[in-house]
Amino acid sequence: MSFDLVLFGGTGDLTWRKLMPALFQAFRHGKLPEHGRILAVARDERTHDQYRDFIRERFANVESAKRPTDEEFSQFARMLFYRRMDLAQPEHYAGLRRWIEQPSGEDGRASGPADTAVMFLATSPHLFPQICAQLGAVGLNGPRVRVVLEKPLGHDLASAQEINRVVRASFSEDQALRIDHYLGKPAVQNLMALRFGNALFEPIWRRESIANIQITIAESIGVGTRGDFYDRTGALRDMVQNHALQLLTMIAMEPPSTSDADAIRDEKLKVLKSLRPFTAESVARDVVRGQYKAGTVDGTPAPGYLDEAKVPAGSRTETFVALRTEVQNWRWAGVPFYLRTGKRLAARDAQIVVNFREVPHPIFPGANQPNKLVIKLQPEDGLELHLMAAKGAGSNESLTPVKLDLDFDKAFDTERVGAYEKLLLDAIAGRLNLFVRSDEQEQAWRWVEPILKGWADDPNGPRAYAAGSWGPPASSAMVARDGHVWDEEQ
């Protein structure tokens, strides 16, 4: 199979930090289809070789195991091309079309267009409408073409709908691939395997057996060099509207009838539509926002958010969100789902904890800890099933907590495929399962909007938390109201 992958924003952060390393890994693993060309487009003038040198230098920042040798890079670089484009100029899109449809030998393909052309928009989202409209205007929207859109997709429901409207004018739903890189993480795909590839859990995956579910995406890093972007965005838009809600849909969805993309996405959409809508009262009660102050992370002093580069003085942007919601259907009625994410927290740790109910009638002395299943997403990728066991030390013995611990990195002797590598290969192959459909994305915005409104009307800004902690104490208090605790406190 032959392909052309066009990276709009070809000199930007996302391209050299994530996409090129992922493409190189795919190449190294022999997964990238052989007859492929990767074309970076950006504003400035460069030759193909200058661009290859630029990428070669950037690979120095990649962790050593994932860095190409000179020999590997020169093979990979044969697929790399560069083209200057002013995204406002229609004739530049016409030139791009010629490059794709009438390649000359110098462009790495002797003749004829590739089987598929993927336009990856790794640009600022305000350019998406313009790029999509121009691609459509020059006919670069035929059935062989797909467009990949990176988040953030909109700032609120109206802006997301506007982007979708413009994208839809040129591309069908199946041609528009919205990336949520969490869906590409191996651990998230394993969640589907756990639930729908095993008969064991499904009968107990419901309100009768489950007391609460906790989804945590904690980061120990701060906003780094992205202060200006982050300050306009905040944790709710950056992490909750997309990554955390996607995880929630994977946990809560009904079994799809097939593994087809739309069968899965229909079920995810139903979950989003079943989430309890927020009101002004429930925002005040069930959502906690925080902002980090100076503290210590991993033994190193860390500045407060307001001291980070490019963050405006007095900013009220949240760097932490914890919230409580419910999925209003027969399977989940009354089961709290707690979501939590933040920057500069105590650890980099993403996990989903399914806390089961207590045994209905305890017969052993001492405390009987309820079972829990911990789905570890990162940094480890694994599963822990916490059980109670008898040591056999005597009669009338109290039970001891033990755990079954599965580390997928050890269980599989092959290197696990990274999120962007997986998603780029899926985009090239046209596999849509792990991309977000426009109705899912809009529904997620619809659900978070009352939170944005509640905060806008709230004279109190975010609550302070020390860098290196687990967020404001109000987050633990919210969970404690239901008689639960966040998993790291157990």
Which residues are at the interface with ligand BG6 (CB under 6 A)?
A: 219, 238
The DSSP code for 275 is B
Residue nearest to ligand BG6 according to CB distances in the complex: 238
Residue with tokens 């988040």: 151
Residue with tokens 């426009």: 438
Residue 272 CB, nearest approach to ligand BG6 (Å):
18
Interior CA angle at 29 toward 26 and 32, to 5°? Answer: 45
The encoded tokens of residue 358 equal 């207590």
CA-based nearest residue to 250, from 175, 152, 183, 185: 183
The encoded tokens of residue 94 equal 């016409």
CB-wise, 238 or 426, nearer to ligand BG6? Answer: 238
The encoded tokens of residue 9 equal 């924003």
Instruction: Provide the 3-class DSSP secondary structure of residue 327.
Output: strand
CA-based nearest residue to 154, from 456, 474, 452: 452
Residues with Cβ within 8 Å of residue 198, at least 6 apart in sequence: none
CA distances from 334 to 8, 13, 16, 207 (A): 46, 43, 45, 7
Q: Are 230 and 401 in contact (CB under 8 A)?
A: no
Residue 26 CB, nearest approach to ligand BG6 (Å):
17
Residue 277 CB, nearest approach to ligand BG6 (Å):
25
Residues pairing with 289 in the sheet: 321
Residue 238 CB, nearest approach to ligand BG6 (Å):
5
181 is an active site residue:
no
CB-wise, 238 or 440, nearer to ligand BG6? Answer: 238
- The backbone torsions φ and ψ at residue 471, rounded to the nearest 5 degrees and listed phi first, read 100, 180
Residue 485 CB, nearest approach to ligand BG6 (Å):
24
Q: Are 305 and 476 in contact (CB under 8 A)?
A: no
Residue 419 CB, nearest approach to ligand BG6 (Å):
7
The DSSP code for 293 is E
CB-wise, 94 or 347, nearer to ligand BG6? Answer: 347
Alpha carbons 317 and 174: distance in angstroms, whole number: 35
CA-based nearest residue to 148, from 123, 173, 179: 179
Residue 429 CB, nearest approach to ligand BG6 (Å):
22
Q: Are 103 and 51 in contact (CB under 8 A)?
A: no
CB-wise, 238 or 421, nearer to ligand BG6? Answer: 238
Alpha carbons 183 and 261: distance in angstroms, whole number: 13
The active-site residue out of 243, 361, 386, 484 is 243
CB-wise, 238 or 487, nearer to ligand BG6? Answer: 238
Alpha carbons 243 and 250: distance in angstroms, whole number: 11
**Which residues form the catalytic set?**
243
